[in-house]
Amino acid sequence: MISRLPLDEQLESLHVVLSRNDVLTEVLARTATLGLPGWYVTAGCLFQTVWNVATDRPPTSGIKDYDVFYFDANDLSWEAEDVVIKTGKEVFADLPAEVEIRNEARVHLWYEDKFAVACPPYDSTEAAIDSFAATTCCLGVRLETDGRWRVYAPHGLSDVFNLVVRPNPVLAPRAVYEAKAARWREQWPELTVLDWPSSGVMSASSVD
């Protein structure tokens, strides 16, 4: 099993599996040209690619969008983020998928209005990834200038490879986790979805 391999071999396997998604590799390559600070391609497009390959589905099956996070605390205006979003729309225009770019330094400005839960300001893109609804979601990849992949996986890769969805109660409500898990299980019935802890801190995510 891949999840029982040494970590360096798990990372190599992750690279091999994700590389089967041509849209994802193109998003990585094109995002690298944008010069965004602290960027990662993250969330569903990564772990869902693994799920697809593990269950013999086409690598892009069921993937709603491709999320790009970056972190720029120097300008928290919507106008600055919108310039990046519009640039991204041009760069990704011919891809057969939606690419959503967000400045994670700004999340605390709108999160409470959307989710009815206050979000403390993040200090990095990694901190934003840490707050996803499920630990399985806490995964980011970016292409470095030397062509290497940088992988951020604070909870490791075992659950991703084993198709386990585990709650991450750190930010907002249980309902968000359960709604996402139910939606994923409709697409990938092979998933093992773990219950929200009976007592614990709340958790949520704004990203699919």
The two tokens of residue 76 are 């928290």
**Domain membership flag for residue 204:** no
**Domain membership flag for residue 85:** yes
Helices 7-18, 44-54: crossing angle, 10 deg rounding = 90
pLDDT in tens, 169-199: 988 578 889 999 999 999 999 999 999 998 6
Specify the pLDDT at position 172.
58
Contacts of 199 (CB under 8 A, 6+ apart): none
**Domain membership flag for residue 123:** yes
Predicted model pTM: 0.89
Owning domain of residue 132: 2-193
pLDDT in tens, 83-141: 999 999 999 999 999 999 999 999 999 988 888 888 899 999 999 999 999 999 999 99
CB 154, CB 190: distance < 8 Å: no
Give me the chain's average pLDDT, please.
91
**Domain membership flag for residue 207:** no
